[in-house]
Amino acid sequence: MINQENKDIMKTYKRFLIAVVIITFILSSFFGALFGFMAGNLGQGKLALNFLKKEKSQPTFQEDMNFEPKMTFPDEESAVTASVQKASPAVVSIIVSKDIPKMQNFFSDPFGFDPFFNPFGSGQQPNQGETEKQEIGGGSGFIVSKDGLIVTNKHVVSDQEAEYTVMTNDEKRHSAKVMAIDPTNDVAILKIEAGNSLPILELADSGNLKIGQTVIAIGNSLGEFRNTVSKGIISGLKRNVTAGNGFGQAETLSEVIQTDAAINPGNSGGPLLNVSGQVIGVNVAMAQGAENIGFALPINLVKKDIESVKSKGKIVQPYIGVRYIPITKEIQQQNSLSFDYGALVLRGERVTDFAVVPGSPADKAGIVENDIILEINGTKIDPSHQLSDQISKFSVGDTINLKVWSKGQEKTVQVKLEERK
């Protein structure tokens, strides 16, 4: 029989057991949550560590989707210096020498005044019949064949009584022979004998030039500073300018390149380069009284001359055999012409200045005086497309179509080009 005291003990024991169970549950839940949190954080830390390691060694797919490759380009300064270094060995200076009267001093100024300010005069007079060779000018050029062909301007070597010397980049001097002179363009080809391994310049395609393109000019500035380098851009294309030499001689330059790269006296005949060191033009003139306006002949106009000299030893130019004047609005009005463009076929002032050369291609095609040549192969003859310039683009033996206004009627005639004699 269980008495009251034993019942109380049993109740107390049950309460103790319940309390132990509750406390055990609470503690188990707490520590379970704590260990789970720590395990979770450790796992995330491990994943983060693995992610960092993976990021360093191999990008994830998401990174690959957003990946932008970095592309590097050579800066302009490096490109220009590399171009100059590549081209300079093939750029030459041309020295013009001539026998001129030898001067004799008959009075010596004891005060050593500058002759310009000397009130007694220069104190010099030419010796009768005596001459001495002196350098009277200079220009530039560039080598286009390993055996010594050199391109320069016609006006640099126009004096038939002068002698020409080429100074190469290694400061060696070579006697130069004028191989050929272009009758229509300001181009001449020289030849030096200096072996068969000379450095040469690569010729670019000047038909693909863009305004704003970076260009480099190299030449014998002022006839004194060899291989002077100037840099600029292409300021204009297909310009038509009239260039003079200061002695009353002038010529029209058609479809030339305008640049703001400095073109100084002595630069004539030197190369105008792109940033790859290729020739895009031949420096030919500068504008007087202006800053940074220079001009160069497109190299595509010169390539035919170079190839002609290489294959034939001379420049072979096609011609049709007419004397003409370009028609302008003023000439149209003065002569009551039907067109304000084209080439009017006219005789010259002398009896022998025929309007159409007898036996020439134009004569054979039936062209006569007072005809107006309007087009060549569909190209209108105007200030931007001169007759002679258009003909020079063809070769001897080519047949061209001329649209002609003759005796009040328009007709088309075929002309087979022949060699200019």
Any idea what the CATH number is for the domain that residue 168 is in? 2.40.10.10
Same domain, 263 and 179: no
Would you state the pLDDT for residue 61? 43
What are the phi and psi torsion angles at 49 (to 5°)? -65, -45
Would you state the pLDDT for residue 258? 96
Specify if 383 maps to a domain: yes
Same domain, 212 and 306: yes
Same domain, 351 and 400: yes
Output the 3-class SS for 210-265. CCCCEEEEEEEECCCEEEEEEEEEEEEEEEEEEEECCCCCEEEEEEEEEECCCCCC
Specify if 361 maps to a domain: yes
What distance in Å separates the CA atoms of residue 57 and residue 359, rounded to the nearest whole number? Answer: 83
Would you state the pLDDT for residue 245? 54
Same domain, 187 and 273: no
Would you state the pLDDT for residue 115? 39
Q: Residues of the chain whose pLDDT is less than 70?
A: 1-74, 103-129, 244-250
Supply the pTM of this predicted model: 0.70
Active-site residues, by number, are: 155, 186, 268
Q: Which amino acid is at 214?
A: T
DSSP symbol at 41: H
Boundaries of domain holding 183: 90-192
Final residue belonging to a domain, choices 255, 290, 312: 312
Q: Report how many domains make up the chain.
A: 4
Would you state the pLDDT for residue 97? 92
Q: Which residues contact 12 (CB under 8 A, 6 or more apart)?
A: none
